[in-house]
Chain A
Amino acid sequence: MADAPGPGESLVKKEPDVPVEDPITSRSSSGWMLLCALLLTGTIVWALWDEAFGQRPWKGMQKAFVARYTRYLDSIKADAGKSEEEVKQSAEYQQLVAEEDAAREQIKDELAAIEARGKLTQAKLDAITDTFQNQRGKLTVINYNVETATGSAKDKYRREAEKKRQEVVEIELPSDDGKSVDTKKVNYAELEKLYDDLREQKARDLGQKAELLKPASELAKKKNDYLKNHLIGLGPAQIDGLKAGLAKYDYSILGHQISVNEYNIVDRCEVCHAGVRESLDIRPENMAPDGPGKTPDSWARAFVSHPNKEILAIHKPEKFGCASCHWGNGRATTSEVKGHGQHKFWLWPMFEKENTEAGCQQCHAKDRVTQGADTLNLGRDLFMQRGCMGCHRYEGFDRETDALASARQTIGQLEDQITGNEKQIRADQERSGQVEDNSEAQKLLAHAESLRVTNSLLAARIDQLNVQAKYLMQDQKKVGPNLKDVRVKLRKEWVPVWLENPQNFRPGTKMPTFWRFANAEEQDGAHMRDKDGEDQIKAIAAYLWQDSFSNKLPEQQRGDAAHGKQLFESRGCLACHSIGPEDSKIGGTFAANLQKVGEKANFDYIVRWIHNPRERVAPYCPKEKRDLTADDYAKKNLPFVFDTEQHSRCPNDGAELQVQNMTVMPNFRLSENDSRDIATYLFSLSSPPGYADASFMDDANLKEKGRLLIKQYGCAGCHEIQGFEDEQRIGKELTVEGATPIERLDFALQTKHAEEGLDPLKLRPDQKEEKPWYNHKGFFEHKITQPSLYDEGKEKDPKDRLRMPKPYLTPEWRTALTTFLLGSVGTEGANVPSSLFYTPEDQRRQDIQNGWWVIKKYNCMGCHQLQVGQRSVVMDLPFYQTAEGKDLLPPRLTSEGARVDPAWLLKFLHDPSLSGEKTPAQAQQINALAASNPQPSGSPQAAGATGPRLKPQPGLDRNGVRPYLQFRMPTFNFSSNELQVLVRFFMAMSGQQDPYIKEPLEPLTEQEKIAARQLFTSGTPCLKCHITGDAAHDEKAIAPNFLLASERLKPDWTFRWLLDPSQISPGTAMPSGLFRKEGDRWVINLPNPPASAANYHSDHARLLVRYMFLMGPDEQRQLLATGPAPPAAASTAPVQNHASKRRRKINYSHRRQIRTSSPGREAAVNLQSLISKF
């Protein structure tokens, strides 16, 4: 076709040999068409499907929820009906039914009469109402005309009204028997009266009927209440109600969306988690796909009700939504991953289950203890106890140091101000002599005078701040021991061994492993030790050794280890300390395991420490920044005495001194002998191995390097170290660490591993699939488990390397600390508006939170139960698992604030011995007395009584309230600040009014006295168990002395206690059922009460409370003489005077102590020696 026809070719067009195919007519394109059509259809179908289902996975879930929940309700309905039937069959319910029926039967006839009368009245009313209302309407119209008309028309209408009134209408009234109809003709006035009478009759009948029915309907209510109160779970009717609700289920998003405009919260979590707020307790197995009780799938787990309804009741979802606490993306509904916010660019990914309580921390960041958030509370405890706060600031923790810094700063400012004022005063005075004008001079003098007064006020303020500073210094504690004592406390050769790896020596110790110099293999990682690691240890040890006290301590001989063991196990040491090898240790984790003390420490020091751990070798003066010496005191002709009571100021400049060791360990008021026995026991558990030579510790050349290293590693965060008293924290502040953007968390060379889910630490060996950990949780967990991880493979200068040491962590602790850090997000990082943060306004809640800081600081819960359900450490010790053992535990303090007078509590917390031996002068006297009576030789207890002695122990060996307990409430030496906080805490916990004003008690009449005495002795044998001060009797006593009652207890509480002690303190030795209710008074629960009590017609329990509170020592002795007292009591000589009584008490406590010592000891000899001591 393209060729032009050649010259010889015919012009006739030749048909081609083969016909050319026409692509349009001859080739089918249907294949392509089909493909396109399919694609198009497919796209449309996909789009429609995605719109309807793909983007709405919740639709299927909602249907499944309704189906499964209906099935579950059906499954429990049968049982619910049964339980309702059971209640209805019970005798009590039947009785109530019978009572109601009887009441109805009784009024039956009267009721029928009233109802018949009412029926007739109503019929009559019905018959005349229309007619009456018709007439009245007409009259009203006419009256309106009268009111609006003018002139003569008014009278016309008046006449018309009168005519209407007189008009007679015919009414058909039913007769009284109701059988016939009377026809009556009445005018308007008669009609109106009839109508009003009938109405009145009706109202009267209704009133009568209600009055008549009242007893029966009250009984019916009682019956229904009984049913309601005795039905556990839902009744069939309630279940039907729930099912009816499901039948009308709203299959939409909007119907289940929580929207809080005020806080801009929109949460759609309940679109899928449809069962969250159901009143029934829905568990996964209830919602299993194959029916209740079968194996649940992931949807069944999503359909459960909220596991903690109490928390939900406080944090109502209508106010807080869901994502405020749980995080995640509350608005997203298109997929689980999106809804849960598990995307690296979503700022608030949902907390994993184990870290859920991180959500609490957002708003409760200022709490020390958040009720119900146990993991979070543990995290806070660990942050404090394990010394994290030694390096890391966290707002609110380390309150004393912060307050002290601020107080000192203020003092400095005020002092500057005073100096400035003085200068101005001088200037004013000078100028007043120079000015010409008298009034000008007067003005200047007046100004100077006002400045002088101002200065005096400022000085008063400084005084106050100084007192505060003193208290704060007293309350300031360090997590680790005082390293100024290294030389007097430790074996020299042991120090480098410890530094090399503390966990090797004492697994679980608070002291972390400093991997940069520790000789410890990393788990599954490179060995990260610095090149000069070994030298670092030497340098640090040398510094500590050389800059340490080297005073001479009183020498101690070994004592009785068996007695020491008994004391150690029973006095309360185990509430904080543990003992035994790692795999079989018992006791608390608050303080160190003491199994290997003998390998490291100096015996003399440990005895002194047990005797009084607060006793400092020398006081530290923060103003001069040095430890004072005896010379400082000698120069001022003062004895080298320093304590918190009266000798807390510097002899040189009057500044408040650090007079105590900064330890939380309290003083157990043990005798020197007992202290020695305990130390002997501890030292009997291990003996020092052969240590390598450590003479390098005396090398002065190493000191400077050591100083730099101590500074670099921040040792002073946890320890007192000479020259580092004012050292600042070296770590990062962690108050809002959880809000750090992910890209600013330095995963270093682990980033790839984290993103791919490769875990070099294998934190979860059970976890099957690899899970990426490039998130906050992953970072924190790895950081606190193995801080060196993020230095691995990095080329860094030693000075730039990471410094954080490796702490000891259990998996539970790791989770707790991670939870705490994840929730530490501050205002900016929170997923909750700050207006919803928890900031208790009321004093009570503030008192409770303030108190928790102190309670936790001193581990009060190691011994005491402060909240119902909480277990103390000592409760779980093996010695207290028997029925008898439980009676030997420290008192429960669940209602302490309601029980005791706050003034008494303050006194007790200050001096738990209640001995009154507070001043050192008094104590010194006792000591002098003791020293002048040397103990007979041969007694093992007396063996160490030569050489310098330990300082006197006020309140020696006394338990103020419960001398029968082996446990001893130690003296904590709380400052006035902490005493106040504690008392207010206990009051607030029990919801008590502050201040407490004692109600005066009415004195007893003679007759009442006699009745009360009889109740006390022949009835309830109170003195059988309660202490009386009589040594023989008290041998078997197990309850406090009544003489303490009036000062110590509150009468209202005591009354409730007498009635049912188990309501206040479940498990107490005090029995219930001592009184029974008779009418509205409580009487002694005896079949044959004593005559005078039987004739006493008021409340017996109240009488006893009064008697108890007004009891004096004489009365008690009289009781003891008349009551069923032990025969031994008779032989006790009467008490002559106060002094002899006290001596007897002291002796008695010693006797007790001997009684508790190991068998085989000649108790009599000891007793003699001890008595002679006093």
Chain B
Amino acid sequence: MKQTKVWLLLALGLSLLAMGSACSKGPTNEATPTPSTSATKAPPTADLGTISGVITFAGTVPPAKKIDTSADPVCGSENPNLTTEETLVKDGKLANVFVYVKDGAAADGTKIGEYNWATPATAVTLDQNGCHYRPHVLGIQTNQKLSITNSDKTQHNIHPTPKLNQEWNQSQPNGAPPIEKTFSRAEVLIPVKCNQHPWMKAYIGVMKSPLFAVSAEDGSFTIKGVPAGKYTVVAWKEGGADGTSKTMEVTVPASGAAKADFAFGEGAAASIAPSLKMMPAIEFPMLGKH
């Protein structure tokens, strides 16, 4: 009898234990944890290099078309020789190409997007002078101030048509104070138009980093302040719905310079990536010939 009691007690104790362990059992975890990637860090300030190059244009240069400014006599008198600015080539060198570091990582493996780039305090200026936008292509950092001025004796309206930022359309009469705006999200590139002067066009590349440049009249560009590393550099030229882009891998040594020459035009057509082919745009005579 005594034995039985012991057994009973033992069984009860064991089952209680089992019960206890059953109680403490939490939910099963089916998945494995993944490291968080949201950390950002300050970009390096020392041993910075540059990416520079020349943009060339091969093949026949589409001739710049004369713009009919009869809708606004002021434009006609201020800038009688206004022409389209889509492809500005001088001695085979292409201006107004937006070159930027799209992707890649610094030597220590930090992705370019993980740096916490500071917003410059200085504003970038976009001027309306002689009924076209000056500069025609410009880069700006996110949240950096864009100051828009009107140097013409006529009224303009500035109308950016972004896909990722807020669209707006602001009128700016002759002599009005500058309009200050910012773009909160990176977007390459935002077309800017003026509804009153349909030929007026500008393109704004909004970047998180300051790693961008626009090719000058001699086709040259220099991106400064690049941390050593391996990057994907993209050159963008306007035309069509989304422009044309060329991509190149570039390695920047510490405090060194990297070369990135790009070629546009039919002569360079072979290097166009298939994904960049555009839908054929139909011609809208309203905008073309008049």
Contact = CB atoms under 8 A, between A and B. Distances in A.
Nearest to A1061: B169
Contact of B193 (A28, A37, A294, A884): A884
A50 B28 CA distance: 19
Contact of A295 (B3, B15, B28, B33): B33
B191 interface: yes
A964 B284 CA distance: 12
A289 B27 CA distance: 9
B119 to A, nearest CB: 14
Interface string B146-181: 000000000101010100000111111111110100
Contacts of A296: 31
Contacts of B241: 878, 881-882, 885
B280 to A, nearest CB: 8
Given A299-B27, A1085-B176, A1156-B285, A34 B7 contact: yes
B193 A289 contact: no
B7 A37 contact: yes
A1151 to B, nearest CB: 12
By CB atoms of chain A within 10 A, which of B38, B176, B279, B282 has the most? B282
Nearest to B174: A1087
Q: Which of B11, B281, B286 has the most CB of A within 10 A?
A: B286
Given A37-B11, A293-B38, A1067 B167 contact: yes
B63 interface: no
B34 interface: yes
B58 interface: no
B118 interface: no
Nearest to A48: B19
A1072 B169 contact: yes
Contacts of B15: 38, 41-42, 45
Contacts of A1020: 155, 171
Given A30-B3, A882-B241, A1085-B173, A1069 B155 contact: no
Contact of A1127 (B34, B70, B287): B70
B123 interface: no
B71 A1126 contact: yes
B22 interface: yes
B198 to A, nearest CB: 7
Contacts of A207: none
Given A883-B193, A1066-B167, A1071-B170, A60 B26 contact: yes
B11 A53 contact: no
Contacts of B18: 45
A1036 B71 contact: yes
Interface string A1072-1090: 1110000000000111100
Contacts of B157: 1071
* Central interface residue in B23, B241, B284, by most chain A CB within 10 Å: B284
Contact of B169 (A881, A1069, A1126): A1069
Which 6 pairs of residues, A with B, have the shortest CB-CB distance?
Answer: A1071-B157, A878-B279, A1071-B171, A295-B31, A1087-B175, A883-B191
Contacts of B30: 297-298
A956 interface: no
A298 B240 CA distance: 47
Contact of B29 (A48, A290, A1073, A1085): A290
Nearest to B70: A1126
Nearest to B73: A1124
A569 B196 contact: no
A1089 B279 CA distance: 46
A1036 B191 CA distance: 21
Contact of A879 (B23, B38, B159, B281): B281
B191 A881 contact: no
27 contacts: A28-B3, A30-B4, A38-B11, A48-B19, A289-B27, A294-B33, A295-B34, A297-B27, A297-B30, A297-B31, A566-B283, A569-B282, A879-B281, A879-B282, A883-B161, A883-B191, A884-B198, A884-B287, A1025-B195, A1036-B198, A1070-B169, A1071-B169, A1073-B171, A1074-B171, A1124-B72, A1126-B73, A1155-B285
Contacts of A885: 241, 281, 284
Interface residues of B, number: 64
B107 to A, nearest CB: 28
A294 B34 contact: yes
Nearest to A44: B15
Contacts of B286: 888, 964, 966, 1155-1156
A1128 interface: yes
B36 interface: yes
Nearest to B279: A878
Given A883-B161, A1061-B169, A1087-B175, 16 more contacts: A37-B7, A37-B8, A295-B33, A297-B28, A297-B30, A570-B282, A882-B191, A883-B159, A883-B201, A885-B241, A886-B161, A1020-B171, A1036-B290, A1072-B171, A1073-B170, A1127-B73
Nearest to B157: A1071
Interface in B242-290: 242, 279-287, 290
A1128 B70 contact: yes
A346 to B, nearest CB: 26
A1025 B191 contact: no
B3 A1067 contact: no
A91 interface: no
A64 B27 contact: yes
A60 B28 CA distance: 11
Nearest to A67: B26
Interface in B18-60: 18-19, 22-23, 26-34, 36, 38
Interface residues of A, number: 70
A878 B171 contact: no
A1068 interface: yes
B277 to A, nearest CB: 12
Interface in A1082-1105: 1085-1088
A1038 B169 CA distance: 15
A263 interface: no
A290 B33 contact: yes
Contacts of A915: none
Contacts of A886: 161
A958 interface: no
Interface string A252-272: 000000000000000000000
B74 interface: yes
A1024 B19 contact: no
A53 B23 contact: yes
Contacts of A1062: 167-169
Contacts of B32: 295
Contacts of B27: 60-61, 64, 289, 297, 299
Nearest to B15: A45
B69 to A, nearest CB: 10
A1128 B290 CA distance: 13
A1021 B170 CA distance: 14
By CB atoms of chain A within 10 A, which of B7, B32, B71 has the most?
B71
A713 B123 CA distance: 72
B49 to A, nearest CB: 34
A1072 B160 CA distance: 13
A570 B287 CA distance: 14
A1067 B161 CA distance: 8
Nearest to A61: B27
A53 to B, nearest CB: 7
A33 interface: yes
Contacts of B191: 882-883
Interface string B62-77: 0000000011111000
Contacts of A1124: 72-74
A67 to B, nearest CB: 9
B12 interface: yes
A897 B226 CA distance: 55
A878 B281 contact: yes
A1167 B277 CA distance: 38
B4 A1021 contact: no
Contacts of A1067: 161, 167, 169
A1071 B33 contact: no
Given A290-B29, A881-B242, A1021 B281 contact: no
